[in-house]
Each structure stands twice: as structure tokens, then as C-alpha cells.
Amino acid sequence: MVFSTHFFLFVFLPCVLAVYYLSPMRWRAVVLTGFSYFFYSWTNPWWVVLMATSTVIDYVAGRVIAKGGGAVAIPGEEPVLEIGGHRSRQQKIALAVSIAANLGMLGFFKYAGFLAINANAVAGFLGLSDSMIPVLEVALPVGISFYTFQSMSYTIDVYRGRAPGMRDFSAFACYVALFPQLVAGPIVRYNSVADQLRVRTHTAEKFARGIAMFSLGMSKKILIANPMGHIADASFAAGALNPIDAWYGIMGYALQIYFDFSAYSDMAIGLALMFGFVFPKNFDSPYRADSITDFWRRWHISLSTWLRDYLYIPLGGNRVGPSRTYVNLMIVMLLGGLWHGASWNFVIWGGIHGGMLAFERSQGRDSPYRRLPRPVRIVITFLIVCVAWVFFRADDLPGAMSYLGSMFGLSNTSAGTDLISGVTATPYHLAMFVIALLVVWTMPQSWDYTRRLTPRRAVICLVALVAAILVMWTQTANPFLYFQF
């Protein structure tokens, strides 16, 4: 079920809002959990078994860790483990089980085929054709990359002493399954919602802010992301392109993925607000970044902070000398790329960003680059990000190299090549492209825009919602890009 569809907007959402607000306060977490499981089962009924399994394992692991000794009592709150304190063998095993179970599920569904294919390729290269591993074709459960990371963060935080263990299973199940952020984030840390799972306010102001976020997200998806997707899809489906069409296509993709993903995050945050939850923003005008380092402070913030806190810092972060720091950055970005998908394309994409992060760190704050005017730095950063997006979008490595060749005039075009502009450069698409660039570079983020929600802005948000609904009815397919991760 997708947020920006007729069925979700006019059937599911009214039902869940009605049942939720008609329920007594103590039942609301259960109601939300039930509807979240129903929401998830809609895509594939069997996948709820996976999510339930992950939930039970992490809940039990959390209880074992929390009750395993070393807790510090905090008046009026659940006890937490002492930070840096001793952990028993039982606690360590519980943590290991949680991490292994989550990564094991993720590894099986997402990477088993990829690993087998590559292992077979190596075996073939070494002349070991008799040792081939069967390649399983397994459907990737939607959202598994998100909820496993989210669930793992709970047990890790409890183990580290940064969060108390959750006693109430229904509240914990609600945290894992909460449908607004279940299938495409933001990755919500348990610590940030622990209190909200127990007590949260439901006010008209909060709900209205949620409506504003949801409306802006919906309009970004329908009115901007989808037309940009049309440009990108046509461009990447074409054979060789001339450079103008190729750059137009990749910029279309850059705009598509930003508006698509940030739209989903806006809608998720908006829906969460409607149910009383406050989630942090996930994007902060990433295409206004003036360096790749800055880009990653602004793009998919919940993932980048997760990787920072649970991978980069445990590896030593930047406290282990320059060379090791660069290696750590590279490891994090390569794995971050792999998180997006089991393909060398994503690894290369991560590698490009990791390499740029390491390079920028090596240059320091007084590099010649920093002396360029900020608008120039923003354009350079955007172009680098676009080049990296080629690997993210292309179906495979040959496709990515072919597209890059087109971008830099290295392709053999044919008479049919020029036809693509008839599909992608219609007045409508060109207008939406320009509007998208203006929004990206001149307008505030949804979260910042809705911080000051005047009656005029409220009207604008609702008008945007209505416009999005009307246009939604003319569009056939409407999936969110990040569902595939």
C-alpha cells in the first residue's frame, strides 16, 4: 500500500484515524500496531511473519539485556544500564543474537543471491565450475532494510545504556511496525520515541502540522517527483543519448529521487504527527550542499546518523589518525551503498561518496576549493552527486558506463536517439523541471516551511494536497523509489 494512492488516502487512512481516535488511550498503541500489520500484510501477507519474528527476537533480547544487571535507577523513569559498565555474558549473547538475527534476515533476503552470483563468478574464474552455489531467487520484503536497522538500534541502545528496555510488548511492536515509517523510514531511534510510546499528546496544532507535512509530501511526490521520473525512465531506457539529453535525464533523476524520497519522509512525518508522534526531519535541502561532506549532513539524515553512531564511531571514527579515518569513511560508505541494494552499482556509488568524503577531509578547511564562491561549490557538488547517481539508477554496470559515455559525448548516437526529446522535453516536463530546480534551490524545507503555519500557508498546503489528488487520478503507477530498498 502506497501513501500517494487512492486506496490509502480515502479508505485506509480515514479508517485508521477513526478507529484510533475513537479508541481509549490505553488501546491506541494496539490499534496502531494492528493497522500497521494490516498495512504491511497488504503488500505480501507472509512478510508480517518476518517482521513479527524480528520484533519478538529483539523484544526478548532487550528484556534479557535490561534485566541482566548493571542497571542504574533513574527516578520516575525506567532504569538504564550504566554507560560503559560491565555486561554479563548473557547480555552479550542477547545482543549478538539480536544483531545476528536482523542481519541474517537482511543478508538472506537481500544479499544471498548477490553473494552466490559473485562466488560462482570467482569459482568459474578459478576453474571450479563444479563448486557452483545455487542462486536462490528470493523476493525482497519491502522495508526490511529499514525495520531491521531500526529494531537493531533498540537492542544496541539498551546494551549501551542509552535507552531503557521496553516492558510493554505492544508498545515495542508498535515502535517496530509503525506504518508511517515502516517501509521507507525515516529510521527512528527507539530512544527518541520511547516516551512517546507511553505518553504522547494529541492536539489540533500537532495534527494540523501533520496535515501540512503530509500535503507537501504528497504534492512533491505527485506533482514533481513523478514527472521527473518520467524524464529519467525514458532517458535511461534509451540507447545512446547526446550529452544534453543525457544530462537532462540524470538531473531529472536527481530531482526525482530527492523529491520522491523526501516526499515519503514528509508524509511519514506528517502521518506520525497525526497520531501524536514527533519524528525528526530526514532531509535538509541536500542539493544546497557545498561539499559531499555537507551533502551527507543533509541527505537521508536518519540513515547517515545511524551509520555514524553504529558503524563509523565503533570503527574509531576520526579518532584513529588520518589514514584510518579515510578507511573508516570508505567502509561506511561502501556498506551504506550496499545497504541500498545487492549490486556492484550501489557499491560503486557508495565508493564515489566515500572517496569524496575522504578526499575532502584530507584537504582540510583551507583548501582552494573552500575559497570558491559558495554558489560555485554548490553547483560542483550537485554535478558530482549527479555523476554518482548514474550508478544508482542504471540497471547494471554496463548500463551505467554507457550512460556516462552519453553524458560526456562518448557514445555513438543514431537517428532514433533524438526522438527521446519528444518524450522528455514536452512543455509540461520542462516546466516541472524548472519548478523543481527552483524549489530545490530557493524554497525552504517542508519542516521549516511548516514551522510557521500561517492561515495563508495552511491554505497553500491544502490546495497543494487537492492538486496532488487530482493529478494522482491521471497517473497510472505511483510507487516510491525507496520501497525497493
Active site residues: 340
- What distance in Å separates the CA atoms of residue 222 and residue 86, rounded to the nearest whole number? 52
Shortest spacing between CB 352 and another protein, in angstroms: 22
| Residues near 385 by beta carbon (within 8 Å), at least 6 away in sequence | 254, 287, 292, 295
**Cβ neighbours of residue 62 closer than 8 Å, sequence gap 6 or more:** 94, 98, 154, 155, 158, 165, 166, 172
Closest CB to another protein among residues 75, 422: 422
Report the residue number, 57 or 245, with the smaller CB distance to another protein.
245
Smallest separation, CB 458 to another protein (Å):
5
User: Residue 450: phi, psi to the nearest 5?
Assistant: -90, 0
Task: Give min distance, CB of 61 to another protein, in A.
Answer: 23
Q: Would you tell me how many other CB atoms lie within 10 Å of the CB of residue 420?
A: 21
Give the residue with the Cβ less far from another protein, 64 or 472.
472
Q: Could you tell me which of 231, 180, 126 has the C-alpha nearest to residue 3? A: 180
∠ CA(351), CA(352), CA(354), 5° rounding?
A: 60
Report d(CA 431, CA 93) in Å as an integer: 57
The 10 Å Cβ neighbour count of residue 246 is: 26
Task: Pick between residue 304 and residue 381 the one whose CB is nearest to another protein.
Answer: 304
**Of 144 and 334, which has the nearer Cβ to another protein?**
144
- For residue 126, give every residue at least 6 positions away whose Cβ sits within 8 Å of its Cβ, in sequence order, or none: none
Q: At its nearest, how many Å lie between another protein and the CB of residue 224?
A: 14
Cα–Cα distance for residue pair 51/172, rounded to 1 Å:
12
CB of 341 to another protein, least distance (A): 13
Question: What does the alpha-carbon distance between residue 226 and residue 257 come to, in Å, rounded to a whole number?
Answer: 10
Buried-exposed string 41-56: b where 16+ CB fall within 10 A, e elsewhere: ebbeeebbebbeebbe
Q: Report in angstroms how near the CB of residue 117 gets to another protein at its nearest.
A: 12
SS3 186: coil
The upper half-sphere exposure of residue 264, i.e. CA atoms within 13 Å in the direction of its Cβ, equals: 25
CB of 370 to another protein, least distance (A): 20
Which residue matches cell numbers 506504518? 179
d(CA 374, CA 370): 8
Report the alpha-carbon distance of residue 47 to residue 350 in Å, rounded.
Answer: 28
Q: CB of 226: closest distance to another protein in angstroms? A: 11
| Cβ–Cβ under 8 Å, residues 150 and 187 | yes
Q: What CA–CA distance (Å, rounded) separates 359 from 364? A: 9
CB of 211 to another protein, least distance (A): 5
Our CB check for another protein shows the closer of 93 and 208 to be: 208
State the cell numbers at 406. Answer: 552519453
Torsional class of 32: left (φ above 0), alpha (ψ -120 to 50), beta (otherwise):
alpha
The rounded distance, in Å, linking the Cα atoms of 430 and 433 is 5
